[in-house]
Amino acid sequence: MAEHTLVGHRVPRIDSLDKATGQARYTADLTLPRMLYGKVLRSPYAHARILNIDASRAERLRGVKAVVTGRDTAGVRWGVFPYTRDQQLLTGDKVRYIGEDVAAVAAEDEEIAVEALELIEVDYEVLPAVFGPLEAMQEGAPQIHDHAENNINIHVPIEVGDVEKGFKKSYHVREDRFVDSEYTYCQTEPYAVLVNCDLSGNLEIWTPNASPHTKAKALSNLLEMPLTKVKVRRICTGGAFGGRSDIFPGEFIAALMALKAARPVKLVYTREESFTSVRQAHSMIVDLKTGVRRDGTFLANEIKVIMDGGAYSSTGPIATSVPFLVWEETYRLPNVRFNGYRVYTNKPVRGMYRCHGRAFLGGLGMQLDMIAEELGIDPVEMRLRNALRTGDTQATGSKITSCGLSEALQQAAEKSGWKEKRGKLPFGKGIGMGANGMMVGFPMGIRGGSSAMMKFNEDGGATLISGVVDTGSGNDSMIVQIAADVLGLKMEDVNLVSADSEITPLDQGAYSQAAAFVSANAAMAAAIDAREQILNIASDMLDATVEELDLRDGFVYKKERPERNIWMGKAIRKALMDDTPIMGRGSYMPKIDQTREWVSNPKGQQAGTFSFGAVVAEVEVDAETGQVRVSNVTGAHDCGFAINPMAVEGQLEGSVASGGVGATLLEEHYWDGGQMLNASMLEYKVPLSVDMPHITPIIVESMDPEGPFGAKEAGLWGSMNMFQAIGNAIYDAVGVWIKDFPITPDKVLAALEERNKD
C-alpha cells in the first residue's frame, strides 16, 4: 500500500448526512408502541434519612402502570470499582444530595406521571449536611457514608524519588495554591433513557452513552440478570465529554419500571435534572510546591489536591489520580509526591470531565511561568527544557513510545509570533502558553481492549462490527475510513454496526481517549485479517502470490500488471463456495501494566501511548472592567497521525470553546448550600459563537509505532491546556496572576486594584 486512498485525507463523516437532515435519532426522539412516560421524585433535602415512603395513592391513580422505590431494588450497591460500591441507584436508606432519586412512576402520559409524583408521600428525617470538602474532612462533620471516616472517599498517595532532598538541592522553590469551582458538561442533549421489556424479561435500552458495555454490565449486576438479557442499543448521543460513561440512576429506574409494567418506559430529564442528577465536574483546591534547578528544570514537585466529589464515588479513584498523571505525562519529574483526596459532600455526584481540573492544570502551567519569570527564562524555553521526549520514562514508570511535545511547543510558538509578542504587546494585550500530555487508554481490566469483526456481501460490500462508540467526535467514521482504506473499498461500501452490547464485541467506549488507539486498532486488525483472506483466495484465482497483489476500488489486482485483476465479489463468492467464507477478526489490547491500580499500585505502564499538545492564546484585557477576550488561539497537537484531519481539527477547535473560553473564563456553578443556583442554559454560561477567538489548529504527527497508521488521540488538547495559556496571557497583558478559576472579570479587576495599591 504505497499511498493511502482514504486515511490521512479530509473526508466527510459517515454520520453527517443523517444529522444534517434530521434523520439521526436521539433517545428522546424514539417512541415504541404502548410506551409509558416516567418521572422521578427527587429529594429536596441535601441529607436525610428516609423513614417511610407511601406510594399507595400514586399506584392507585388511573393511568399509572408502575411505581418504584428503593424497596423494589435488590439493594445492590454499585460502584465503578469493587472497592467503591457506595451507591444504591434508587436510594433505600438515605438521601445524600438535593435532586437524588427517591421514587419514580411510569404512566400512560406525562401529565398523569407528574400528578402521581405529587401523591407519593415520603417521610424524611433531615440530617445536618456539609457542602465543602474542607468542612467535610473536619472532625465532627456530618458523616455521609458509614464507611468513610472524615468523609474521605479516595486517597491516592504517590511517591517517586526523594522529594525532601530535591527541595534542598533546588535553586528556586515556589509554593502556590490554585482553586477551581465546579463546572459541568452541559451537553446540548439532555439526559434521557428508553427501556423496552418483553414478556421473557429481555431488556433493550437506549440512552446517550459513551459505552454500552459498561452500562449493560452495571445493569446486569444491579438487576441480577445475565448480560444476554440486558441489551444496550446503539443510539446517537448529543455529546458526552466524559459525562455519559458510568451507570446512572435513570437507566436503572427505567429498567425497573419497564420490568414491572412489562411495557416500554421512557424517561426524559429536564435541563435542570440533567445538571443536578447525572454528573458534574469536581471542584479542586490544589497546593503546588515546585523546586527547580538553575536552568528551570524540575527537581522536586509536591502536589496536594482536595476534590469535592459529591455524594457518591462514581469514578473516584480515576478522578483523584488524573490531577497527578497529567503532569507526569507532560514533564520530567524526578522527585514527586502527590496526595489526592476525593471528599464526599452532600452535593450531586462528580465524575470525569473532558476539561479535567482547571486548578491543577492551570496551576502548574501558570506556576511554570511564574518560575520562568523569576529565573529570567522564556516560558517556551522553560517548557522545552522540561518536556518529555520519545524514549523517556514518566515518574511512575510509563514509557513513551512517541512524543511530539517539543515540536508542538515550537510550532505553537512560531506560528503565533511568540517571540515578537511576548512581553512586547501594549498594556492590556498579552500572549501566553499552555502545554499538556494525555494518556491514551488506561487500565480497565477486560474492558481496556477492543475487538472487531468483518463480514462480506456477495456483491462486494462489507459490514464492520465493532464496539466503538461515537458520541460526536467522529469515531464511527474513523474506523470505517480505516477499514475501507485497508480493503481498497469506498467508505460507502463499508457499513458499520457499532455500540450495541448484544451484537458488538467488548470495547472500552468513548472513554479514556482510546478510540483511535484501541478501537481503531482492533478494526484495522479485523480489516487486515479479512484482506489477507481475500488475497489468499484471489492469489489462486489470479495465479499470483499474495505479495504480488493489492486491493483498490473493489478489485484485487496484480501490482506489476494491473490488467490482471478480479472483482472482489468474485473472491468473496469463491470463498463461500469453498466453505471458507471471508470473516475478518481482530482485536487490540494496549500494552499496559495490568497490575497497575489507581490507589493500591499506581506504578507501571499507565497507558499504551500518550498524546501531547501546546497552545498559545492571545488575550485582550479591558483593565477597567476586568473583562478578558481571547482574540487568537494557535496551537499544535501531536495526535500521532491524523486519520481524518478535518475531524481532528474539529476536536481541537471544540476544545478551545469548552476548555478555553468556557471553562477558563465563563463556566462555574453558583451554590447555596446543596442547591445549584444556575442549573439552566441561560445562567450557566457556555460560550457562544460571538465569544470565540480565531483558531489556528496545527497537527503534529509523531507516528506512534503501535497506533493504527501511527494515530493516538485528539479529543482533549485545548480542554487541558487552554487554562494555562489564558492565565499566562492575562499576566502578560496586565501583570496579574489569577489563581482562582474561572477567571471572571470581577477577579481580574480585584487583582488589578490590589496591584495598583502596591
Partner 1 sequence: MRLPKFEHLQPESLEEALELLAEYGEQAKVIAGGTELLVSMKHGLLAPSFLVNLKEIPELNFIAYDGEKGLRIGALTKLATLITSPVIRESFAILSRAASLVAAPPLQQMGTLAGNLCLDTRCLYYNQSRFWRQARPRCYKTGGDTCHVVKGGKSCLAAYQGDLAPALMALGASVKIAKKGTERIVPLADLYTGKGGRPLTLQADEVLVEVQIPAAAARCSGDYQKLRYRGAMDFPLVGVAAVVSRDGLDTIAEASLALTAVSMAPILVEEAGKFLQGQQLTDELVAQAAGAAYEVAHPVNNIGSNPSYRRKMVRVLTKRAIRNAWEGSEPWRNGSSS
Partner 2 sequence: MEKRLIQLSVNGDEYDVVITPNQTLLEVLRENLELTGAKEGCGEGACGTCTVLLDGKPVRSCLTLAVEAQAKQIETVEGLASDGELHPVQKAFIEHGAIQCGFCSPAMILTTKAFLEENPKPSEGEVRRAISGVVCRCTGYAKIVAAMMATAGEL
688 binds partner 2 (CB under 8 A): yes
> Shortest approach of partner 2 to residue 697 CB, angstroms?
8
CB contact at 8 A, 699 and 639: yes
Number of residues that bind partner 2 (CB under 8 A): 56
Q: What angle do CA 715, 721, 722 make, to 5 degrees?
A: 100
Interface positions with partner 1 (CB under 8 A):
42, 44-45, 98, 110-111, 114, 270, 272, 624-627, 665-666, 670, 672, 675, 677-679, 682-683, 685, 687-691, 744-746, 749-750
Residue 625 binds what, of partner 1, partner 2, none (CB under 5 to 8 Å, by partner type)? Answer: partner 1
Q: Is residue 393 classed as helix, strand or coil in its secondary structure?
A: strand
Among residues 56 and 680, whose Cβ is nearest to partner 1? 680
Measured from the CB atom, is 388 or 679 closer to partner 1? 679
Q: 272 vs 653, which CB is nearer to partner 1?
A: 272
Q: Answer with the entry of partner 2, partner 1, none that 707 interacts with (C-beta below 5 to 8 A by kind).
A: none
Give the up-direction half-sphere exposure of residue 290: CA atoms within 13 A in the CB hemisphere.
28
d(CA 557, CA 457): 19
Provide φ and ψ at 351, rounded to 5°: -135, -165
- Residue 512 one-letter amino acid: S
User: Pick from 1, 446, 646, 677: which binds partner 2 (CB under 8 A)?
Assistant: 646
For the segment 363-382, give every residue that binds partner 2 (CB under 8 A): none
Smallest separation, CB 695 to partner 2 (Å):
5
Q: How far is CA 179 from CA 28, 301, 433, 515, in A?
A: 37, 18, 20, 32
The reply to whether 490 sits near partner 2 by the rule CB under 8 A is no
Residue 670 interacting with partner 2 (CB under 8 A): no
Which residue, 182 or 476, is less far from partner 2 as judged by CB? 476
Stretch that binds partner 2, among 373-381, 533-541, 652-660, 740-748 (CB under 8 A): 652-660
User: Are the C-beta atoms of residues 345 and 132 closer than 8 Å to each other?
Assistant: yes
- Contacting range for partner 2; rule: CB under 8 A; set: 186-194, 283-291, 372-380, 599-607: 186-194
From the list partner 2, partner 1, none, pick the one residue 22 interacts with, judged by a Cβ distance below 5 to 8 Å according to partner type: partner 2
Q: Which of 659, 642, 667, 742 is nearest to 693 (CA)?
A: 659
Compare residues 320 and 471 and give the one whose CB is closer to partner 2.
471
Q: Which does 228 bind (CB under 5 to 8 A by kind): partner 1, partner 2, none?
A: none
540 contacts partner 2 (rule: CB under 8 A): no
Among residues 28, 326, 549, 617, which is the contact residue for partner 2, using CB under 8 A? Answer: 28
Dihedral-angle region of residue 457 (phi above 0 means left; psi in -120 to 50 means alpha; beta otherwise): beta
| Contact pattern from residue 266 through residue 285 relative to partner 2, giving x for each residue in contact according to CB under 8 A and a dash for the rest | --x-xx--------------
Q: What does 45 bind: partner 2, partner 1, none (CB cut-off 5 to 8 Å by kind)?
A: partner 1
Binding mask 456-485 for partner 2 (x = CB under 8 A): ---------------xxxx-----------
Q: Which of 116, 117, 120, 186 binds partner 2 (CB under 8 A)?
A: 186
Based on the shown chain and the rule CB under 8 A, indicate whether residue 649 belongs to the binding site for partner 2.
yes
**Binds 427, which of partner 1, partner 2, none (CB < 5 to 8 A, cut-off by type)?**
none
Take residue 67 and report the three cell numbers written for it.
411505581
- Residue closer to partner 1, measured from CB, 545 or 625: 625
- Grid coordinates representing 708 are 493504527
In the complex, what is the shortest distance from the CB of residue 29 to partner 2, in angstroms, rounded to a whole number? Answer: 4
3-class secondary structure for 283-334?
Answer: EEEEEEEEEECCCCCEEEEEEEEEEEEECCCCCHHHHHHHHHHHHHCCECCC
In whole angstroms, how close is the CB of 269 to partner 2 at the nearest point? 11
> How far apart are CB 274 and partner 2 at their closest, in Å?
9
Residue 184 or 346 having the CB closest to partner 2: 184
Nearer CB in complex with partner 1: 150/678: 678
Which of partner 2, partner 1, none interacts with 624 (beta carbon under 5 to 8 A by kind)?
partner 1
Q: Where in 191-250 is the site for partner 2 (CB under 8 A)? A: 236-239, 241
Residue 270 Cβ vs partner 1, minimum distance, rounded to whole Å? 6
Which DSSP symbol is given to 553? T
Per 3-state DSSP, what percentage of the chain is helix, strand, and coil (rounded to 5)?
A: 35, 25, 40
Choose, by CB under 8 A, the member of 152, 370, 497, 692 that binds partner 2: 692
Selected from 409, 479, 695, 729, the binder of partner 2 by CB under 8 A is: 695
Between the CA of residue 36 and those of 33, 63, 65, 691, what are the distances in Å? 9, 9, 8, 41
- What are the DSSP calls for 458-524, one per residue? TTS-EEEEE----SSSSHHHHHHHHHHHHHT--GGGEEEEES-TTTSPP---S-TT-IIIIIHHHHH
Give the separation between CA 739 and CA 724, rounded to whole angstroms: 10
Nearest to 205, CA basis, from 223, 227, 228, 232: 232
Q: In what order do the strands lie in the sheet containing 628-638?
A: 429-440, 609-621, 628-638, 694-700
Which of 114-122, 179-187, 439-447, 738-746 is the region at the interface with partner 2 (rule: CB under 8 A)?
179-187
Q: Identify the residue whose cell numbers are 471572571.
A: 744
d(CA 656, CA 5): 31
SS (H, E, C) 605-668: CCCCEEEEEEEEEEEEECCCCCCEEEEEEEEEEECCCCCCHHHHHHHHHHHHHHHHHHHHHHCC
CA–CA separation, 96 and 88 (whole Å)? 11
* Interface with partner 2 (CB under 8 A), residue from 8, 461, 654, 742: 654
749 is in the binding site of which of partner 2, partner 1, none (Cβ under 5 to 8 A by kind)? partner 1
**Shortest spacing between CB 657 and partner 2, in angstroms:** 4
Q: Residue 710's binding partner, choosing from partner 1, partner 2, none, with beta-carbon cut-off 5 to 8 A by kind?
A: none
d(CA 126, CA 124): 6
In whole angstroms, give the CA distance from residue 686 to residue 683: 9
Question: CB of residue 275 vs partner 1: minimum separation in angstroms?
Answer: 11
Smallest distance, partner 1 to C-beta of residue 254, A: 19
Peptide bond into 742 cis (omega under 30): yes
Residue 168 binds to partner 2 (criterion: CB under 8 A): no
Binding-site ranges for partner 2 (CB under 8 A): 10, 12-13, 15-26, 28-29, 31, 185-190, 236-239, 241, 268, 270-271, 471-474, 646-647, 649-650, 653-658, 680-682, 686-690, 692, 695
